[in-house]
Amino acid sequence: MLADRQNNVATLRTLGHDLVSLDLDPTQQRDLQTAVDECMARYDAANDVCVRHRTELDRIEASVSSYRTKLDAFLSWLDATEHSVIMTDVISADVDTVQQQTAQQQASSC
C-alpha cells in the first residue's frame, strides 16, 4: 500500500529541496526543511511498520496453513470414529442385559 505512494514521496522530497534552495528567509528554510524531514521520517517509519507486519503476516499464514492441514486430518479421523461409534450396539446399564449380551458375544466368537 505504501509502495504505491513511493513516487509521491520522492516527488515531495525533491520539491522540498527545491523550495529550500530558493531565496527564502533562513527561518522559513529551516521550517520547510524540518517539515520535509519530518514527513520523510514518518513515511519511512510507516513503511518499516508495514514491512514488519507483512513479514509477521506471512509467518502466521504459514502456521495457519500447517494447522489447517493437521485439523483436516483430525476431523476426518473424528468423522470416521463417530460413524464407527454410531454403528456399534448400545450397551445396556442393566446388569442382567449386560450378562446376556456378554454370553451372546462369547457364544458367537466360539
Whether residue 16 is contained in a domain is answered as yes
Average pLDDT over residues 13-30: 81
Whether residue 71 is contained in a domain is answered as no
pTM here is 0.55
Whether residue 110 is contained in a domain is answered as no
Average pLDDT over residues 86-93: 79
- The rounded distance, in Å, linking the Cα atoms of 52 and 47 is 9
Whether residue 95 is contained in a domain is answered as no
pLDDT, residue 1, reads 58
Whether residue 42 is contained in a domain is answered as yes
Report the domain count for the chain.
1
Whether residue 26 is contained in a domain is answered as yes
Domain of residue 28 covers 2-62
Grid cell for residue 10: 520522492
Average pLDDT over residues 27-52: 89
Q: Cβ contacts of residue 1 below 8 Å, gap of 6+?
A: 50
Whether residue 91 is contained in a domain is answered as no
Q: Is residue 54 packed enough to be buried (19+ CB in 10 Å), middle (13-18) or exposed (0-12)?
A: exposed
C-alpha pair distances (Å), 4 with each of 7, 8, 46, 72, 94:
7, 8, 13, 38, 74
Whether residue 18 is contained in a domain is answered as yes
Answer whether 9's CB lies under 8 Å from 40's CB: yes
- The rounded distance, in Å, linking the Cα atoms of 37 and 44 is 10
pLDDT, residue 2, reads 66
